[in-house]
Amino acid sequence: MEMTQQQANAEAQRCLYCSDAPCRDACPAHIDIPTYIAMIRSGNVRGAAEVVKTSNALANVCGKICPEEVFCQTACTRMKLDAPILIRELHYFATRSEARSGFSARRTPPPATHTAAVIGGGPAGLGCAFELSKLGISVTLFDAKEPGGVPRATIPSFRLTESELGDDLRFLADAYTVRRETVTPARLSSLRKEFDAVYVSIGLGLDRTLGLKGEHLQGVLPVLPFLESAKRGTAAVPDRVVIVGGGNVSLDAASTAKRLGAASVTLIYRRGEREMKVWKSELEEARRQGVEIRFMTVPVEIAGTESVVGLLCRHTKLSAEKDASGRPIPVDVKGSEFMIRAECVIIAVGQVIGSDLAREFKLTKKGYIAVNGEFQTSVRGVFAGGDAVAGEGTIVQSVAHGKLAARAMQRFLHDTRRASRPGHV
Amino acid sequence: MDETKSNTTPGELPLYPQRDLSYEFLGLRFENPFILAAAPSTDNLEMVRRAFRAGWAGAILKTTSVEGTRVDLAYPMMTTFTHEGKRLFGMGNIDLISEHHIDKVEANVRQLKKEFPGKIVGASIMAGKKEDWQSLVVRLTKAGVDLIECSFSCPQGNIGENPGKMLAQSISATETTARWVKEAAGRVPVSIKITPHVTDIVDVANAVKRSGADALTASNSIQALMGVDIRSFVPYPQLQGRSSYSGLTGPAIKPITLRTIAEIARHVEIPILGTGGASTWSDAVEFMAVGAGVVQYCTAVMHRGFRIIDDLTSGMAHYLDEMHFGSVTDIHRKALPHLADHDALPRHTVRSTIHEPLCIGCEACYLACFDGAHMAIDRGPGRVPKVDWNRCVGCGLCQHVCPVDGCIEMTLHEN
């Protein structure tokens, strides 16, 4: 829900306008939050939107779905007095208002001195492309599909509307030239010659599997194709659906299945609610839709002969030992098997890189593209960022990642030029 | 303290062009209409530097005096007028002029003009005797000051023969002293800072005009008693059981200042530097619309810092675009043709209209009208009040107690 002018004013008046504001540090894109809130307060809503957009290229998308309870609002000083400022909602109010009344004219970017190819038009690619254009680097954006990445492909439309993403893409459109093509490893080599620098932001996109018996059965769906078809309007669900996985994507799938008409939707997660790393708004939405969430539950086997008839599960308990994320490791409780009857099982247990391009680079142990502190991959002149480097993250983190990489690319291009100058050793 | 961290976005590339807000006033080039008033914020070289870097167009350095002038400060000196939880709705101070005498201030003027040739560096002065006034002026002029402001109106009193009284409360003393200053200032513009605490502000403005001074600064803080501790009975600010009257500034005095500027602008042809209660860009629009040529800020900066300039310039630029104005000078005096004496106001039939879909049913209008106006609003079904147009006189009270923007409107009716 978008705030009214009066609500936005009242909320903005609560802001303490902290010096060196902690909210700004907590925002991955470092939006100058107190300044834009002061602008809303003074009635300069257009100025407020400009402050947001100066730091975040996907302003309307983040204004709508950024998990404020993870970032800015966790740092709000006002919380120590009463309750945090509704920072995201004020951001959304400002950028929606600007989108409706027409984007502000931007300053002419500096004349292009270099060229860059950005592979992948998701949040990281768009963040990088936008920052590069501000730096006077001419950008060509390669994507097999229309730019928009995860927000376009799989974030359900009940969370993010076509117009919110569309407004951001409309705003960004003159920052780059789009080429609709799939970049193959061979094509990457030619792009390296054609452009001064390359940024790889190919995301993840391939669902992990469970490796359980019955995973081949009809009715077992990886979550990403399911969400994509739901967004296209071609998905259908049977009466009973089980979702395996305890992340935001699983909650999206659960809420979507319910909205598509499934009579019962059960989500199973191997740990407890406290360990679930999801956003409050997502969990609330799933519960509002009537999704049943079974904590401390792991899948054992998918039952059925040709089609799924159910999911055999087992209860877990949390051990004292903790994993890399700092959460207790769940262990199966022997003999606790039980069956959840369902005609569809959706697997949402994380993703890996789907693109062939990954093979061209040195990868991390987890299978992501390895980069150094300057976002450089093992291939000279090729930079990378976003989920393909950092693993599944939020949109704002990817935008910020792309922005930082753009600065690193500029430093690289600047140094390369100096190094190639005659007489320079 | 890390300066870049406290006031500006570190390293963010600018995305939007900055609109040129510059214009001429008093023969000087102002890069925007926002300058700092003579106050604590302008008493320190480093602070003025930061303000200039942040984007302020100019500053009036805190009021200075000749060497040897006794400046006997008492602390604490600041008080807030907190209205229903809103701190610094008004601010009270028992500050005096700067402890920096002219030797220090003339050096600051030289330094600032050297570092920031494009900024307006003004200085405020106060003295008693003619030779002191004139020596201050001569020394500042030699230092390269752009503008001299004379404090004739510090509520904590003056230096000289009648220290308890403000100079600007005497028509003849105002004219005489202003003439001394202007004589010594030569081509450097002189503005006389006046007080609204007079019987007729127009008489004072005329006296300044007769003196030959170039402008008026309207107006200084309002003499006030900030409050009384109802258990100890010591008023605020409290200095070991004693207190004194304060100079009230901030949003609370804006309507008084607007009236003062408007009244001068309607009757006397003299440039006005507006000050007293402006905190936002839209306040500056209002000040300029009633006749100010430039607007000075003080309390808002003391509350929120120099960084408020970002919103002032951005908000003003967007306002000019929205209004299709070419320059801030297009705002100048725009409100004055709409001002009239009470007997010249139109007499139409006006009635209150409640836009029912917006009504939230608090019945604040009903209560206000029932106990404070004409008992013309009745309680309606579903808590939506009904206006009885036979009893409604169109006073407008209900519109202003209504908590919903745009819910109650005063509509014009044929007689």
Look over chain A and give the mean of its residue pLDDT values, rounded to a whole number.
95
Kindly state the DSSP code that residue A58 receives in the 8-state scheme.
T
Burial of B371 (0-12, 13-18, 19+ CB in 10 A): exposed
Going by the DSSP 8-state scheme, the letter that residue A370 receives in this structure is: P
Does residue B236 come out as left (phi exceeding 0), alpha (psi in the -120 to 50 range) or beta? beta
Q: What is the pLDDT of residue B4?
A: 33
Model pLDDT, residue B415 = 63
Work out whether strand B272-275 and strand B215-218 pair parallel, antiparallel, or are unpaired. Answer: parallel
Contact A35 B405 (CB under 8 A): no
Question: Looking at residue B337, what is its pLDDT?
Answer: 98
**Best of A44, A78, A168 to disrupt the B interface by mutation (most B CBs within 10 Å)?**
A44
Q: Do B5 and A106 touch (CB under 8 A)?
A: no
Provide ipTM, 2 decimals.
0.93
Residue whose entry in the numeric block shows the structure tokens 């990088």: A128
Strands A240-244 and A344-347: parallel
Question: b/e string for B204-222 if b means 16 or more Cβ within 10 A?
Answer: bbbbbbebebbbbbbbbbb
List beta partners, residue B411: B351
Nearest CA-CA partner of B121 in B66, B62, B67: B62
In chain A, which residues have their Cβ closer than 8 Å to the Cβ of B9? 30, 32, 35, 54-55
What is the phi/psi pair of residue A377, to 5°?
A: -85, -175
Sorted by where each starts, the structural domains of chain B and their CATH numbers stand as 4-338 (3.20.20.70), 346-412 (3.30.70.20)
Residues of chain B with pLDDT below 50 are 1-10
**Reduced to 3 states, what is the DSSP secondary structure of residue A362?**
coil
Nearest-CA distance A368 → chain B (Å) = 29
Quick one: how far is CA B105 from the chain centroid?
Answer: 24
Residue B383, min C-alpha distance to chain A (Å): 22
Amino acid B336: pLDDT = 98
Query: Mean of the pLDDT values across residues A319-332?
Result: 91
Classify residue B317 by burial, with Cβ atoms within 10 Å: 0-12, 13-18, 19+.
Answer: buried
Say yes or no for a CB contact (<8 Å) between A42 and B14. no
Give yes or no for residue A123 having a pLDDT over 60: yes
- Residue B130 CA to residue B182 CA, distance in Å, equals 12
Contact B60, B125 (CB under 8 A): no
Residue B276 distance to chain A (closest CA, Å)? 18
Among candidates A35, A44, A107 on the partner chain, residue whose Cβ is nearest the Cβ of B281: A44
Q: Write out chain B residues lying below 8 Å of A59, CB-based.
A: none
The two tokens of residue B247 are: 């100079």
pLDDT at residue number A425: 41
Question: Distance, in angstroms, between A167 CA and closest chain B CA?
Answer: 17
Number of other residues whose CB lies within 10 A of the CB of residue B13 = 19
Dmax over Cα atoms in chain B, in whole Å?
76
pLDDT of residue B162: 74
User: What residues of B are in contact with residue A107 (Cβ under 8 Å)?
Assistant: 14-17
Cis peptide upstream of residue B237 (ω within 30 degrees of 0): yes
Write down the residue that tokens 């190094």 correspond to.
A419
Number of C-beta neighbours around residue B403 at 10 A: 11
Predicted pLDDT of residue A420: 66
Residue B24 CA to residue B22 CA, distance in Å, equals: 7
Write out chain B in H/E/C secondary structure. Answer: CCHHHHHCCCCCCCCCCCCCCCEEECCEEECCCEEECCCHHHCCHHHHHHHHHHCCCEEEEEEECCCCCCCCCCCCCEEEEEECCEEEEEEEECCCCCCCCHHHHHHHHHHHHHHCCCCEEEEEECCCCHHHHHHHHHHHHHHCCCEEEEECCCCCCCCCCCCCCCHHHCHHHHHHHHHHHHHHHCCCCEEEECCCCCCCHHHHHHHHHHHCCCEEEECCCEEECCCECCCCCCECCCECCECCCEEEECHHHHHHHHHHHHHHHHHCCCCEEEECCCCCHHHHHHHHHCCCCEEEECHHHHHHCCCHHHHHHHHHHHHHHHHCCCCHHHCCCCCHHHCCCHHHCCCCEEEEEECHHHCCCCCHHHHHHHHHCCCCEECCHHHCCEECCCCCCCCCHHHHHCCCCCCEEEEEECC
The pLDDT of residue A302 is above 90? yes
Two structure tokens written together for B407 = 């819910």
Instruction: Please judge whether B14 and A105 are an interchain contact, meaning their C-beta atoms are less than 8 angstroms apart.
Output: no
Length of chain B: 415
Interface of B with A in 278-337 (CB under 8 A): 280-282, 304-305, 307-308, 310-311, 314-315, 318
Q: Please give the residue of chain B at the shortest CA–CA distance from A55.
A: B12
Return the pLDDT at B25: 98
pLDDT tens per residue, range B25-50: 999 999 999 999 999 999 999 999 99
Supply the Cα-derived Rg of chain B in whole angstroms.
24
**What are phi and psi for residue B125, nearest 5 degrees?**
-130, 155
Closest residue in chain B to residue A104, using alpha carbons only: B16
Q: Is A299 helix (H, G, I), strand (E, B) or coil?
A: strand
**Token digits of residue A253:** 């799938």
Asked if B397 contacts B369 with a C-beta cutoff of 8 angstroms, the reply is yes
- Helices B171-185, B130-143: inter-axial angle, 10-degree rounding: 40
Tokens of A86: 């509704």
With an 8 Å Cβ cutoff, are A30 and B12 in contact?
Answer: yes
How far off is chain A from B280, nearest CA to CA, in Å? 6
> Does residue B266 contact residue B339 with C-beta atoms inside 8 Å?
yes
Q: What is the pLDDT of residues A161-217, one digit of tens each?
A: 999 999 999 999 999 999 999 999 999 999 999 999 999 999 999 999 999 999 999
Between chains, do B318 and A46 touch, taking CB under 8 Å as contact? yes
Smallest CA–CA distance from B305 into chain A, residue = A19
Residue A417: band (very low, low, confident or very high) from pLDDT cuts 50, 70, 90 = confident
Task: Please give the positions of B annotated as active site.
Answer: 154
Beta strands in A24-175 (DSSP E): 114-119, 137-142
Burial A34-68 (b: 16+ CB within 10 A, else e): bbbbbbbbbbbbbbbbbbbbbbbbbbbbbbbbbbb
CA-to-CA separations, B3 to A75, A102, B7, in angstroms, rounded? 22, 35, 6
> What is the β-pairing status of strands A351-353 and A205-207?
antiparallel
What pLDDT digit, counting tens, does each position of A363-401 carry? 999 999 999 999 999 999 999 999 999 999 999 999 999
* Residue A267 CA, distance from chain mean position: 21
Q: Exposed (0-12), middle (13-18) or buried (19+): which is B346, by Cβ within 10 Å?
A: exposed
Here the tokens at position B218 are 């309207």
User: DSSP 3-state assignment of A188?
Assistant: helix
Q: Measured between alpha carbons, how far is A65 from A394 in angstroms, rounded to an integer?
A: 9
Among chain B residues, the shortest Cα distance to A109 is held by: B15
Length of chain A: 425
Task: Return all residues near B87 (Cβ < 8 A) that are at least 6 apart.
Answer: B80
Burial zone of B46 (CB within 10 Å; 0-12 exposed, 13-18 middle, 19+ buried):
exposed
Residue A386 carries which DSSP code?
Answer: T
Verify whether the Cβ–Cβ distance A39 to B311 is below 8 Å.
Answer: yes
Measured between beta carbons, the chain B residues lying within 8 angstroms of A131 are: 13
Q: Which residue in chain A is spatially nearest to B314 when comparing CA positions? A: A47
Q: Are A92 and A63 in contact (CB under 8 A)?
A: yes
Q: Is B183 exposed, middle or buried (0-12, 13-18, 19+ CB in 10 A)?
A: middle
> Which residues have CB under 8 Å from B377's CB, separation 6+?
B352, B365, B366, B369, B370, B385, B386, B387, B388, B392, B398
C-alpha–C-alpha distance, residues A42 and B282, integer Å: 8
Give me the torsion for CA of A399, A404, A405, A407, rounded to 10°: 130
Chain A CB contacts of B318 under 8 Å are: 44, 46-47
Quote the pLDDT of residue B1.
Answer: 32
What's the confidence (pLDDT) of residue A146?
95
Subunit contact B315:A39, Cβ cutoff 8 A: yes
Nearest chain B residue to A136 by CA distance is B13
